[in-house]
Amino acid sequence: MEIPAARDPVSAVREAFDDAVLHVKQFRGETTLVVEPARLPDVLDFLRVSSGLVYNMLSDVSAVDYYPDDYGDEFDGDDGEYRPGRFAVSYHILSMLYNRRLRVKAFAAEEDPRLPTATVVWPAANWLEREIADMMGISFDGHPDQRRLLMPDDWHGHPHRRDYPLGKETVAFSFNEAEIRKHKPFAQN
Amino acid sequence: MAVAAQAQSIEEQRKWEGSLDQLRGLVSERAMTGETMLLNMGPHHPSTHGVLRLLLELDGEEIVTCLPDIGFLHTGIEKSLEDKSYEKALPLTDRMDYLSPMSNNMAYSCAVEKLLDLDVPERGQIIRVICLELARCASHLVWLGTHAIDMGAMSVLLYAFRERERVLGMFEMLSGQRMMSSYIRPGGVWRDVPVEFLPTIKQFLHDFPAKVDDYEALLTQNPIWKDRAQGVGVVEPDVALAHGMTGPALRGSGVNWDLRKAQPYSGYETYDFNVPLGEHGDVYDRYLIRIQEFRESMKILNQAVARLETVKGPYRSENRKYVPPLRSELGQSMEAVIHHFKLWTYGYDAPDDEIYSAIESPRGEIGCYIHGTGANKPRRVHFKTPSFIHISALPVMSSGYLLADMVAIIGSVDIVLGDCDR
């Protein structure tokens, strides 16, 4: 069977979705494609099935929080970094056929961050997105399982956010719970 | 408590009707009406390899679906890494997959090297390959022993741990630690191999193939083992890919994908070895693959040990902006003292940018995503770990099989809960 020639993912996505690509970045040989959040599942599905691309595996989904001030319209990084929102979710996808990786990234706003889910494209996204929803507090619309994954069900707050304090917390028991709650205004939402 | 009151309390517990609403859509509708049974397995079940809780939906003895519940071993390693400079964060990565800490060190070091654009000298790469393959053997030995004991073959565990002890002894020689070695570091390895290491590993390489034959004599053609393993937990290749499975669990389904071959790191492209593949995607094929991986690791180790004797030179990068100087340089060079002080107090700055780098661990692909801040601490470190992915795929692997097969399936994907929860 003849393998179709590999296509450049950036130009292919630009061709298929005229306005979905917001930014493209190269760093250490890795391509990052920033896309419009609403089109994310469509772009991922296009990258998965199109001939010449065939990104057939979802390696990782990871989220990053640009708090406190490395994002927004006024932010201007060293080399014109593009960071319109506080949160970003990166889908690291892998094409086994052409042996290359691609990072598809979407930004989410500070207030009520939410993105469409990619579980319809890859079932593997299920837990990876659940972990992000749990630890970073980004909701995924249409996700089949909205429970917390790593933290207990009754946990308040999202530990991987940059404004969530790191350690130095008293262990909560029933006798001191009220007192601890008082010291944790961040965990009251 | 009076007997009558106790009986009443038990009766009340039986009558308890909790809300199943939060499971709606996750288990079948039959579970809502009580037609199928919801049963907890774990978190302290001997075969769940740590603390994994499975909520099983059973139709008689047949598994309809299962809902894995993780997080019991969550230690916030990714969060803790954000508060440490890059070099000092390394020992935390040991604690994730505690059966092959060397692989975690390697995944993290490779990611930091990629972020900094740091080189690794050839001798360092060879020592890394030796460590990684020894770690693969040690990890597979624990898997073999525990998998066998889960399925009722008691004696294999004792033999497997006997050999693992020798591997851990070699790790102690290298790093001073049997398990949490922190030996592989950004830029190379912590120190050169001690003189007694080479004879020890040669003796091990001489003895070990016969031991693998012994394990195979106990299990491979054993009719009970074959009955329990063949045709159980079958995963089709496309299902395995859709669920993101990697490592022996993916190769068991016949997908030829090994990062050591496909995207070589640390000089793996210069070694001669094969990637064992399965055919049926069942528990037995995954067992055969790991057994063959022992032999392939032996091949790589033999080549690497031969090279270690000829290749001399530095074992760690000499880029003094990122790698602390040797102790011996401190008495002679003012620059070395400055670098030593700077690197052990402040660390080094990494670019405000993101990278993803992956290696092939004994369990599959360990990916490390690092986003720097431009200063000495990362903004975010995320580990994609194979156990996490494989536990999330347990429902598709186990549905339709018997409750007793669940133990075999969990064992066959070789999960480590520390790796899963991080």
The pLDDT of B174-182, averaged and rounded, is 89
CB-defined contacts A:B, below 8 A: 111
> Looking at chain B from residue 258 to 317, which residues have their Cβ under 8 Å from any Cβ of chain A?
262-263
Task: Answer whether A62 sits within 8 Å of B358, measured CB to CB.
Answer: no
Q: How many angstroms away from the CA of B411 is the closest CA of chain A?
A: 20
State residue A74's pLDDT score: 66
Asked if residue B291 has pLDDT above 90, the reply is yes
What is the pairing mode between strands B364-371 and B380-384?
antiparallel
Asked if residue A185 has pLDDT above 90, the reply is no
The answer to whether B421 faces chain A, any CB pair under 8 Å, is yes
> pLDDT class for A183, splitting at 50, 70, 90?
low
Using alpha carbons, list the distances in angstroms from residue B48 to A150, B43, B53, B61, B222: 17, 7, 8, 19, 24
Task: Answer whether B352 sits within 8 Å of A81, measured CB to CB.
Answer: yes
Cβ pair B73, B42 in contact under 8 A: no
The answer to whether A163 faces chain B, any CB pair under 8 Å, is no
State residue B197's pLDDT score: 92
Residue from A90, A94, A96 whose CB has the most chain B CBs within 10 Å, to mutate? A94
Nearest C-alpha neighbor of B344 from the set B88, B82, B83, B81: B88
In chain B, what residues touch A148 (CB-CB under 8 Å)? 71
Q: Which domains does chain A have, with CATH numbers?
A: 9-150 (3.30.460.80)
In chain A, what residues touch B25 (CB-CB under 8 Å)? 144
Residue appearing with tokens 């800490």: B101
Asked if residue A189 has pLDDT above 50, the reply is no
B240-253 confidence digits (pLDDT tens): 999 999 999 999 99
A27-75 confidence digits (pLDDT tens): 888 999 999 998 899 999 999 998 888 898 999 999 999 887 777 766 6
Cβ pair A10, A24 in contact under 8 A: yes
Mean of pLDDT over chain A? 84
Task: Answer whether B371 sits within 8 Å of A58, measured CB to CB.
Answer: no
Of B16-30, B205-219, B293-307, the poorest mean pLDDT is in B16-30
HSE-up (13 A, CA, CB side) for residue A45 = 12
The pLDDT of B35-48, averaged and rounded, is 79
- Please give the radius of gyration of chain B, using alpha carbons only, rounded to the nearest integer: 24
HSE-up (13 A, CA, CB side) for residue B277 = 9
The Cα B323–Cα B347 span in angstroms is: 9
Q: How many angstroms away from the CA of B159 is the closest CA of chain A?
A: 35
Mean of pLDDT over chain B? 88
Nearest C-alpha neighbor of B101 from the set B55, B41, B167: B167
> pLDDT class for B7, splitting at 50, 70, 90?
low
- Residue of higher predicted confidence among A174 and B119: B119
Query: At a CB cut-off of 8 Å and minimum separation 6, what does B369 contact?
Result: A60, A62, A90, A92, B111, B354, B355, B356, B380, B381, B382, B383, B384
Asked if residue A86 has pLDDT above 70, the reply is yes
The answer to whether A27 faces chain B, any CB pair under 8 Å, is yes
The Cα B25–Cα B8 span in angstroms is: 34
The Cα A154–Cα A148 span in angstroms is: 9
Q: Which residues of B286-324 are buried (b: 16+ CB within 10 A; e: fewer)?
A: bbbbbbbbbebbbebbbbbbebbeebeebbbbeebebbb
Percent of chain B with pLDDT over 70: 95
Task: Answer whether A28 sits within 8 Å of B355, measured CB to CB.
Answer: yes
State residue B5's pLDDT score: 63
Task: Answer whether B243 sits within 8 Å of A124, measured CB to CB.
Answer: yes
> pLDDT class for A77, splitting at 50, 70, 90?
low
Nearest neighbour of A145 by CB, restricted to B26, B371, B391: B26
The answer to whether A30 faces chain B, any CB pair under 8 Å, is yes
Q: How many angstroms away from the CA of B386 is the closest CA of chain A?
A: 10
Q: How many angstroms away from the CA of A39 is the closest CA of chain B?
A: 21
The pLDDT of B172-176, averaged and rounded, is 91
- Residue of higher predicted confidence among A152 and B345: B345
Cβ pair B86, B110 in contact under 8 A: no
B293-308 confidence digits (pLDDT tens): 999 999 999 999 999 9
Task: Answer whether A99 sits within 8 Å of B262, measured CB to CB.
Answer: yes
Percent of chain B with pLDDT over 90: 47
The Cα B262–Cα B269 span in angstroms is: 9
Return the structure tokens found at A77: 């990084």
The Cα B375–Cα B379 span in angstroms is: 9
In chain A, what residues touch B384 (CB-CB under 8 Å)? 59-60, 62, 92, 128
B91-128 confidence digits (pLDDT tens): 999 988 888 899 999 999 999 999 999 989 999 999 99
Asked if residue B25 has pLDDT above 90, the reply is no
The pLDDT of B265-284, averaged and rounded, is 91
Q: Which class does domain B77-421 fall in?
A: mainly alpha
Asked if residue B32 has pLDDT above 80, the reply is no
Total Cβ atoms within 10 A of residue A148: 16
Taking CA–CA distances from A105, the nearest residue in chain B reads: B354
The answer to whether B235 faces chain A, any CB pair under 8 Å, is no
Q: How many angstroms away from the CA of B69 is the closest CA of chain A?
A: 7
Q: How many angstroms away from the CA of B416 is the closest CA of chain A?
A: 15
In chain A, what residues touch B22 (CB-CB under 8 Å)? 147
Q: How many angstroms away from the CA of B18 is the closest CA of chain A?
A: 15
Nearest C-alpha neighbor of B78 from the set B390, B413, B344, B385: B385
Cβ pair B382, B77 in contact under 8 A: no
Angle subtended at Cα B173 by Cα B98 and Cα B215, rounded to the nearest 5 degrees: 60
Asked if residue A80 has pLDDT above 70, the reply is no
Percent of chain A with pLDDT over 70: 89
Nearest neighbour of A103 by CB, restricted to B356, B374, B396: B356
The pLDDT of B341-345, averaged and rounded, is 91
What is the pairing mode between strands B188-189 and A21-27?
unpaired
A93-117 confidence digits (pLDDT tens): 999 988 999 999 999 988 889 899 9
Q: Give the single-character DSSP code of B280.
A: S
State residue A175's pLDDT score: 82
B350-374 confidence digits (pLDDT tens): 988 899 999 999 999 999 999 988 8
The Cα B129–Cα B111 span in angstroms is: 16
Cβ pair A162, A179 in contact under 8 A: no
Task: Answer whether B76 sits within 8 Å of A27, measured CB to CB.
Answer: no
ipTM of the complex: 0.86
Cβ pair B113, B120 in contact under 8 A: yes
Please provide the DSSP assignment of B237-264 as one string.
Answer: HHHHHHTT--THHHHTTT----HHHHS-
